[in-house]
Chain A
Amino acid sequence: MAENVKPRVRVPRDATAGEAIVIKTLISHTMESGQRKDGDGNTIPRSIINRFTCEFNGELVIDVTLEPAISTNPYFEFQATVPETGTFDFTWYDDDGDVYTDSKDITVG
């Protein structure tokens, strides 16, 4: 597992039905591009997060493919309309097979 990987998510606690809310996510990750060389001239192997998804009550909200040019600690900010009370599930997929998850509940009142 890559070191010091910590997902962070911010979702409002509550919303009105149909409201577009702002979701912010940040995951600490080195995002080693595979293009760099170490002091001895050897290529440092690529190690990035290659996919990020957000689901709401099982329904896909956003599905992102990440490429090696994306910098350290990738940050996503996007909007979602919330029809009902439920849970956002966030998933990050690492090159090395690790999967990092986080989830947030939101109440529609």
Chain B
Amino acid sequence: MKSLLKTGVAAVAIFAANVAQADEEANLVINEEIEITVRTDAPAHAENLSTIYSGWVFRSDETQSLQMDDFENPGMIFVDDAIDTWNTVEGSEGNSCASCHGEPESMAGVRAVYPKWNDAAEEVRTIAMQVNDCRTEQMGAEEWKYDGGDMLNMEALLASFSRGLPVNVAIDGPVEAMWELGRDIYYTRYGQLDLSCANCHEDNYGNNIRADHLSQGQINGFPTYRLKNAKLNGVQSRFRGCVRDTRAETFSVGSEEFIALELYVASRGNGLSVEGPSVRN
């Protein structure tokens, strides 16, 4: 059964007998062309992990196969929308994304290194912050809402052209303070349930938390199309959902704490491939 799935024959998924079990040995090749690293040695700074896994390996056969073919991947519809936006002139400066960057193919590799330090602004920037900087400074256009629909579509487009390239987020130099803040947050227990990120995603990945199969919480696949809400989901909105589920008062999307956490969690996935827009449940 699995060997057939590997060839990308999506219809086979209909006949898969066991819907709940993930095949953790499966390999991901998108469009029979883009090879995705879904498991690799953990980077040295993820000191409590030996192997890092993409969230894809924890999903069911059916969900996995949706991501093997762009035609089946519902997230690619949003990428198509973003390509139209890419070429649309907005704002007072008469620029579109294409005016400076040309074809979106030129953005290959960009997603893989964010969040990263911006020298001029002297801050750590997520890719969403950089997109908004482009919009306000280069285009004279309105900012997009953080993790809003327009922003997630554009993030999905940027991710899609970096698919297959290894995540390579810098953790030293000027970002070090933010990275350490992110690590502190990762290991801090929050909420009435008294849970840290690590309790689920480091100590218990592969186990079930009630009906949910816990992943390592890697974010190489974001923005993610979730079957539960049938839309793209941003990293920080996902963080907020997780912290909320510990019954804690959460940080805000776009806050310094979540930027730090995004930087830290992204760096734990150094070596996995960029996968966005991925498909998860």
List chain B residues, Cβ under 8 A from A77: 11
List chain B residues, Cβ under 8 A from A26: 71, 77
- Determine whether the beta carbon of B80 is less than 8 Å from that of A28: yes
Q: Which residues of chain A from 40 to 87 have any CB-CB distance to chain B below 8 Å in the complex? A: 71-73, 77
- Determine whether the beta carbon of A72 is less than 8 Å from that of B11: no
- Determine whether the beta carbon of B77 is less than 8 Å from that of A73: yes
Select from chain B the residue with minimum beta-carbon distance to A71.
Answer: B230
- Determine whether the beta carbon of A72 is less than 8 Å from that of B230: yes
- Determine whether the beta carbon of A24 is less than 8 Å from that of B80: no
Taken together as a complex, chains A and B put the C-alpha atoms of A6 and B82 apart, in Å, by 13
- Determine whether the beta carbon of B77 is less than 8 Å from that of A10: no
Q: Which residues of chain A from 14 to 37 have any CB-CB distance to chain B below 8 Å in the complex? A: 22, 24, 26, 28
List chain B residues, Cβ under 8 A from A8: 71
Select from chain B the residue with minimum beta-carbon distance to A6.
Answer: B80
Number of interface residues of B (CB under 8 A): 8
List chain B residues, Cβ under 8 A from A71: 230
- Determine whether the beta carbon of B11 is less than 8 Å from that of A4: no
Q: What is the CB-to-nearest-CB distance from A20 to chain B, in angstroms, rounded to a whole number?
A: 12
Contact partner, B71, options A4, A6, A24, A28, Cβ 8 Å: A24
> Would you call B81 an interface residue if the criterion is a C-beta within 8 Å of the partner chain's C-beta atoms?
yes
Taken together as a complex, chains A and B put the C-alpha atoms of A10 and B8 apart, in Å, by 14
> Would you call B74 an interface residue if the criterion is a C-beta within 8 Å of the partner chain's C-beta atoms?
yes
Taken together as a complex, chains A and B put the C-alpha atoms of A28 and B77 apart, in Å, by 7
Select from chain A the residue with minimum beta-carbon distance to B231.
Answer: A72
Select from chain A the residue with minimum beta-carbon distance to B81.
Answer: A4
Taken together as a complex, chains A and B put the C-alpha atoms of A73 and B73 apart, in Å, by 12
- Determine whether the beta carbon of A10 is less than 8 Å from that of B71: yes
List chain A residues, Cβ under 8 A from B11: 22, 77
Taken together as a complex, chains A and B put the C-alpha atoms of A10 and B11 apart, in Å, by 14
List chain A residues, Cβ under 8 A from B84: 4
Q: What is the CB-to-nearest-CB distance from A71 to chain B, in angstroms, rounded to a whole number?
A: 8
Taken together as a complex, chains A and B put the C-alpha atoms of A71 and B74 apart, in Å, by 13
Select from chain B the residue with minimum beta-carbon distance to A73.
Answer: B77
Q: Which residues of chain B from 196 to 244 have any CB-CB distance to chain A below 8 Å in the complex? A: 230
List chain A residues, Cβ under 8 A from B81: 4, 28
Taken together as a complex, chains A and B put the C-alpha atoms of A72 and B231 apart, in Å, by 11
Taken together as a complex, chains A and B put the C-alpha atoms of A77 and B69 apart, in Å, by 14
Taken together as a complex, chains A and B put the C-alpha atoms of A8 and B71 apart, in Å, by 8
Interface string of B78-94 (1 = CB under 8 A from A): 00110010000000000
List chain B residues, Cβ under 8 A from A28: 77, 80-81
Taken together as a complex, chains A and B put the C-alpha atoms of A53 and B41 apart, in Å, by 50
Taken together as a complex, chains A and B put the C-alpha atoms of A4 and B81 apart, in Å, by 7
Taken together as a complex, chains A and B put the C-alpha atoms of A71 and B77 apart, in Å, by 15
**17 A-B interface contacts by CB (under 8 A):** A4-B81, A4-B84, A6-B80, A8-B71, A10-B71, A22-B11, A24-B71, A26-B71, A26-B77, A28-B77, A28-B80, A28-B81, A71-B230, A72-B230, A73-B74, A73-B77, A77-B11
Spell out A's residues near B (CB within 8 Å).
4, 6, 8, 10, 22, 24, 26, 28, 71-73, 77
Spell out B's residues near A (CB within 8 Å).
11, 71, 74, 77, 80-81, 84, 230
Ranked 10 nearest A-B pairs via Cβ: A10-B71, A28-B77, A24-B71, A4-B81, A6-B80, A73-B77, A22-B11, A26-B71, A8-B71, A73-B74
Q: A8-B71, A77-B11 are in contact. List 11 more A-B contacts (CB 8 A).
A: A4-B81, A4-B84, A6-B80, A10-B71, A22-B11, A24-B71, A26-B71, A26-B77, A28-B81, A73-B74, A73-B77
